[in-house]
Amino acid sequence: MLQALRFEREALFALDQTQLPEREIVLELRSAAEVAEAIKRLSIRGAPMIGVAAGYGVALACLAGEPAADACELLVAARPTAVNLAHAARRVRDVALDGGAAAAVAEAVAIEAEEVAASDASASFGADLLAGVRTVMTHCNTGALAAPGRGCALSVVAELAQRGSLERVTATETRPLLQGARLTVYELARLGIPHELIVDGAAAGLIARGHVEAVIVGCDRVAANGDVANKVGTYGLALAAREAGIPFVVVGPTSTIDRSCDSGSEIEIEERDGSEVRSFRGAATCAVETVCRNPAFDVTPASLITALVTERGVARPVSGETIAALLP
C-alpha cells in the first residue's frame, strides 16, 4: 500500500507530494519547523494526513527537548482550513505536558492508527451507500496520499471497485496545483481502477449530460451544521450535482468535524500565493504582472450534500442533528 508518511528513528519520512508523479522522493523531516514547512508547501497535504504529520511534528519537538506548546503553535499556523491539523497538534501537545516525549510519540502513533481505522470503516459505509454505482466523479486527491490507510473519498472508490460495480472514475485535474491530475491519477493507476482525467471546467457540463452517477469528495472541515469546506471547486460540483439530480457525497473522518464552528461562514479559507496560478513548475500560465486570487478551498452548504460518510456512520440528510449524532 502507498505510504505517504513513516515515523522511524526519531524522524518523519514523507513522500514529497509536490514531486509526484514524476519523482518519488522521500523527505527526512527532523523538527517541527521542517514538518510545518513541508505542510505549507504541500509536500504533505490532505486534511487527515496533515493532522497526523502535525502530531509527529509536536512529538519531534518533544524528542529534541523543545517546548511542545511552541511546536504546536508553529504547526497550527501552517495551514488554517483543515481542522485535523489543530486537533492533532493540540492533542499531542496536551499529552506531552504530563507524559513527556515518549507519551507524545505514542499519542501521535495512536492518532495515525485511528485515521487508518477510520479510512477502512468509511470505505465500507460509503460503498454500502453507493452500492451498484458504476461511474463517479471525484475532485482533488483524497486517497492514501491525503489520509492514512486508503484515504477518504478515494477509499470508497477503491472499495466500490473491489466490490465489482465500478466501471470508471472521472478525476478533475484540480487547479491550481493539479492534485487530481498528478496525485489522484497516480493513485488510481496504481490501484488498477479505470479512470479518465478532465479539466475542471468540463465537470459541470459532463455532470449535466449524465456522464457520472455520483460525485464523491473529501473534506477539510465540517461545521456543526454540516456545511463543508473542501478543495476549491467543490461547491460548483455540488451545484451541478443538485441540478442533475445525482448524489453528492462527502467522505471524511470525524476528526474533520469542528463542533466549535457553527456554520461554514466561520471557516477560515486559506488564501495561497497568486504565483501558484500565474505559473506551474516554472512555466508561465499568464502574463507575469497578472493579479491572481488563489483561495485554496470553498464551502458547500449542507443543503447540497446528499450524505456525509464517516467512520462512525453516515449523516443523511446532513444537518446539525445528524452531525451531532455521529459524535461521542
Query: Which cell numbers in the block locate residue 148?
Result: 492514512
Q: How far is the CB of 65 from ligand MRU (least distance, A)?
A: 31
**Residue closer to ligand MRU, measured from CB, 148 or 247:** 148
Q: Of 128, 200, 220, 298, which residue is the catalytic one?
A: 220
Give the sheet arrangement for strand 248-251, strand by strand: 195-198, 168-172, 135-138, 214-217, 248-251, 307-310, 313-315
- CA pair distance 134, 255, nearest whole angstrom: 29
**Residue closer to ligand MRU, measured from CB, 121 or 152:** 152
Q: How far is the CB of 181 from ligand MRU (least distance, A)?
A: 12
Q: How far is the CB of 62 from ligand MRU (least distance, A)?
A: 25
User: In this structure, are strands 168-172 and 248-251 parallel, antiparallel, or unpaired?
Assistant: unpaired
Beta strands in the chain (DSSP E): 5-8, 11-15, 26-29, 135-138, 168-172, 195-198, 214-217, 221-223, 228-231, 248-251, 257-258, 279-280, 283-284, 297-300, 307-310, 313-315
DSSP class of residue 187 equals H
Q: How far is the CB of 264 from ligand MRU (least distance, A)?
A: 14
**Residue closer to ligand MRU, measured from CB, 62 or 179:** 179
**Residue closer to ligand MRU, measured from CB, 68 or 150:** 150
Residues that bind ligand MRU (CB under 6 A): 45-48, 82, 140, 142, 146-147, 151-152, 179, 217-220, 230-231, 296
The CA-atom distances, in angstroms, between 235 and each of 185, 219, 232, 264, 293 are 22, 12, 7, 12, 17
Q: How far is the CB of 6 from ligand MRU (least distance, A)?
A: 18
Taking CB atoms, the residue at the shortest distance from ligand MRU is 218
- CA pair distance 62, 235, nearest whole angstrom: 40
**Residue closer to ligand MRU, measured from CB, 273 or 289:** 273
220 is catalytic: yes
- CA pair distance 106, 121, nearest whole angstrom: 23
What residues act catalytically?
220
